[in-house]
């Protein structure tokens, strides 16, 4: 599109391409679209190198002399070499993934694919049990204190806790109380359905399941 919009204007073409890649990089860093952490890292680094390469190309727009052109040429060579190295590394990782077959982005994946060691499922479950036990046994009558402590957390921490609860509610088929979190995470596909407790007219409790279309169904599916 920059080549069509800015015909015979190389400087404007480079500027538009720079803006498009920067916007793409911002969206990639926000959404982290790939399930495997290594793919998100490589995607972000590759786009960053392309932005640097375009920034170096903008230096040719003016006449800064042969010295500046020589430095820019060396800069472009280094950036291009780094991109080739990254491409070669991804080819090797792809071949390794074909041999060592496991779910991409899962806890059983290679450590390099997950950019580190992933906690074992039983350890995570034990941590959840510890939290539940603490809230049930030691947290009686301290609801106001806990709410105050939560209010002191940063926006990012509150968002992380909310997303974690949404993931557990969707994928573990949790039953939540009325008035709890009802909005699933919009950045992922859930593998289960959450259920909500509802209070009937005569004091009996029913259940509502959140359908994929966002509507609720009672225990009879209506």
Is residue 102 within 8 Å of 35, Cβ to Cβ? no
pLDDT in tens, 182-217: 555 545 555 555 565 554 434 444 555 554 444 444
Q: What is the pTM of this model?
A: 0.62
Nearest to 185 by CA among 166, 172, 171, 158: 166
pLDDT at 125: 87
Look at residue 81 and tell me whether its pLDDT is greater than 90. yes
Integer Cα distance of 39 and 36 in angstroms: 6
Please provide the average confidence, as pLDDT, over all residues in the chain: 76
Look at residue 106 and tell me whether its pLDDT is greater than 70. no
């Amino acid at each position: 599109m920059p080549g069509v919009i800015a015909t015979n204007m190389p400087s404007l073409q480079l500027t538009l391409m720079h803006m498009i890649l920067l916007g793409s990089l911002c969206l990639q860093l926000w959404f982290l679209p790939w399930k495997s952490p290594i793919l998100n890292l490589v995607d972000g680094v590759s786009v960053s190198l392309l932005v640097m390469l375009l920034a170096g190309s903008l230096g040719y727009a003016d006449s800064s002399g042969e010295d500046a052109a020589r430095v820019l040429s060396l800069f472009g060579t280094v950036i291009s070499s780094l991109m080739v190295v990254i491409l070669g590394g991804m080819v090797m990782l792809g071949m390794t993934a074909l041999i060592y077959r496991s779910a991409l982005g899962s806890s059983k994946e290679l450590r390099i694919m997950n950019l580190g060691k992933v906690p074992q499922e039983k350890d995570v479950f034990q941590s959840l049990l510890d939290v539940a036990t603490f809230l049930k046994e030691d947290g009686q009558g301290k609801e106001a204190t806990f709410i105050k402590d939560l209010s002191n957390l940063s926006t990012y921490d509150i968002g992380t806790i909310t997303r974690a609860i949404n993931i557990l509610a969707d994928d573990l088929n949790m039953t939540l109380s009325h008035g709890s979190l009802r909005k699933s995470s919009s950045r992922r596909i859930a593998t289960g359905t959450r259920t909500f407790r509802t209070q009937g007219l005569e004091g009996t409790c029913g259940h509502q399941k959140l359908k994929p279309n966002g509507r609720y169904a009672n225990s009879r599916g209506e």
